[in-house]
């Protein structure tokens, strides 16, 4: 780009900035948990569901009293759904990351 083209682009950007209402940049809430904290809590919850499912499966297989097949199946389904949801979130985050990285500046 030549200097003249750069100056034209800068002039257009300034004109657009003057026409748009001034808005302060968005800042995350200081009192709320951050994204990393929420993500870690979600992963911990899925991990706990998988551990509970594994524990119930082992207890049922060993013939422990008070553990029936229904409990084992429900725990396994909860664990499976949580894991699938985690995979979907991961896939969406990776897709968004790739899209951002492919953007031209």
Q: What was the pLDDT predicted at 83?
A: 93
Whose tokens are 């929420």? That residue is 38
Q: Check residues 14 and 77 and name the one with the higher pLDDT.
A: 77
Residue 82 burial (CB count, 10 A): 19
Cβ neighbour number for residue 64 with a 10 Å cutoff: 11
The yes-or-no verdict on residue 2 having pLDDT over 90 is no
Report CA-CA distances (Å) from 99 to 26, 36, 64, 89, 93.
Answer: 22, 20, 51, 15, 10
Q: What is the pLDDT of residues 73-84, one digit of tens each?
A: 999 999 999 999
Domain ranges of the chain: 31-105
Please tell me the predicted confidence (pLDDT) of residue 24: 57
Q: Residue 1: is its pLDDT beyond 60? A: no
Instruction: Calculate mean pLDDT across residues 49-73.
Output: 93
């Amino acid at each position: 780009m030549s200097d003249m083209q750069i100056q034209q682009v800068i002039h257009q950007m300034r004109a657009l900035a003057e026409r748009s209402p001034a808005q302060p940049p968005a800042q995350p809430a200081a009192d709320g948990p951050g994204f990393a904290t929420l993500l870690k809590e979600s992963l911990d919850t899925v991990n706990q569901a998988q551990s509970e499912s594994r524990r119930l499966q082992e207890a049922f297989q060993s013939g422990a009293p008070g553990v029936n097949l229904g409990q084992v199946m429900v725990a396994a389904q909860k664990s499976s759904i949580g894991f699938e949801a985690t995979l979907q979130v991961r896939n969406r985050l990776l897709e968004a990351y790739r899209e951002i990285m492919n953007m031209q500046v």
